[in-house]
Amino acid sequence: MVQVGFVKPHMPHVFPAKYLDVVPSNADIILAEHMLPPTGIAATMDWHSGKGANGPAGNISAPAADWTQRDWKQNYYAAAAFTDDLFGQLLGSLDSHGFTDNTLVIVTADHGWGLGEHNHWVKYTNWETDARVPLLVHHPAAQHTWGVRTRSLVEHVDLYPTIAELAGVPVLPASQESIEGYSYASLFAAGATPGSTVWTSTHNGSFTQYPRCSVTLPTSPGGDPTFETSTRCASVPKAKFSYMGYSMRTSRWRYTEWAVWDGKALAPQWMADVHAPNALVELYDHAGEESAVGHQIWDDFENVNVAASFPLAVALLSKQLRAFYARTTANRGKPYGTFE
């Protein structure tokens, strides 16, 4: 296995000037339609502007000037085009050396990236913009999957067993493995229809988490905290986090629940009641997303916290999410091959 990493379009946006000629001009850059944080949330808990060196300067209620946003996005696109060119050269080398027909190619990233949606830039949240990543898998022996988009919910932890199975390497049952993850190699099987078949793990969702620090904790169990000083936990030891945001994505919903962080046990202290309205619960409806294209996928969803309108969904998703993280917490520190 060979791994190649490209830094761009990560900050800083440094690239050969010629790549500005292959992206839209500043005047043609499309800005986010929804430039304010979602309604119905404790906005400062989730919101991170990326202002300063990492993104356009603004504040939670006043986005940066349009020209500043266009300039920043244009440079982001140009940096991405730079990497796209380098990646094309890499694929060309595979071809020239005769490896094209026997090489699995996986393209992915370690996180998403906000480009002004919700008045949010860069990363550091549990929103779809940050938690969802690009994932392209090219299997040279499964031509029926080339160019096909699947609505399956997969995670990075699923890559190892999937690649191993596709490469013909025996894969141990999950209960005997040393890591989490499930193989979705079945999507590439002969006769499979990955465009219409939806695969998901036994947990029926994909999971992410991201902490918050320096917030005032609630004065009573289940009480709402104040978030005026909420910040990302840069250079903060994990024992010093204030909250942990746990997020679960299903085919329809993104559900996020915030828990007070127990720095000694390194575990969540769940609230007693998740019934809305509650500043620690977020529910976003992704119904209809399958027909969205381009920037709509990021801009047209997660603009309203609908937890108060769907209490049964909140109760069910909270139960699933807590059960998943209780399992992972229980497995912490166990020897290989003993994961439950």
Q: Tell which wins on pLDDT, 148 or 329.
A: 148
H/E element, 201: none
pLDDT band at 74 (very low <50, low <70, confident <90, very high): very high
Lowest mean pLDDT across 77-86, 186-195, 227-236:
227-236
Q: How crowded is residue 324: how many other Cβ atoms within 10 Å of its Cβ? A: 17
* Residue 219: per-residue pLDDT: 53
pLDDT band at 230 (very low <50, low <70, confident <90, very high): low
Q: Is residue 61 part of a domain?
A: no
Instruction: For the chain, report the end-to-end CA distance as a whole number of angstroms.
Output: 29
Q: Tell which wins on pLDDT, 293 or 52.
A: 293
- The mean pLDDT value of the chain amounts to 87
Lowest mean pLDDT across 97-101, 151-155, 293-297:
293-297
Q: Is residue 298 pLDDT above 80, yes or no?
A: yes
Backbone dihedral angles phi then psi of residue 69, each to the nearest 5 degrees: -65, -40
Q: Is residue 221 part of a domain?
A: yes
* Residue 136: per-residue pLDDT: 95
Q: Is residue 142 part of a domain?
A: no
Q: What is the mean pLDDT of residues 250-262?
A: 94
Q: Is residue 18 part of a domain?
A: no
Number of domains in the chain: 1
Those residues whose C-beta lies under 8 Å from the C-beta of residue 184, and which sit 6 or more positions away, are: 152, 154, 158, 162, 199
Q: Is residue 36 part of a domain?
A: no
Q: Is residue 264 part of a domain?
A: yes
> Which residue blocks in 132-277 are alpha helix, DSSP H?
159-166
Q: Which position has the token pair 């109760």?
A: 315
Q: What is the mean pLDDT of residues 290-307?
A: 89
Q: Is residue 46 part of a domain?
A: no
pLDDT band at 234 (very low <50, low <70, confident <90, very high): confident
Q: What is the mean pLDDT of residues 191-215?
A: 85
Across 100-104, 166-170, 171-175, the highest mean pLDDT is recorded for 100-104
**CA-derived radius of gyration, the chain:** 21
If you ran DSSP here, which 8-state letter would residue 176 be given?
G
Which range of residues forms the domain containing residue 284?
A: 206-331
Q: What is the mean pLDDT of residues 193-222?
A: 78
Q: Is residue 273 part of a domain?
A: yes
Task: Name which of 132, 135, 125 is nearest 45 in CA terms.
Answer: 125
* Residue 337: per-residue pLDDT: 42
Model pLDDT for residues 124-146, shown as the tens digit of each residue? 899 999 999 999 999 999 999 99
Lowest mean pLDDT across 127-131, 324-328, 332-336:
332-336
Lowest mean pLDDT across 46-55, 142-151, 194-203, 312-321:
46-55
Model pLDDT for residues 8-53, shown as the tens digit of each residue? 998 889 999 999 999 999 999 999 999 988 998 876 677 777 766 5
* Residue 158: per-residue pLDDT: 93
pTM equals 0.90
* Residue 144: per-residue pLDDT: 92
* Cα 8 from Cα 12, distance rounded (Å): 8
pLDDT band at 229 (very low <50, low <70, confident <90, very high): low
* Residue 225: per-residue pLDDT: 59
Q: Is residue 220 pLDDT above 60, yes or no?
A: no
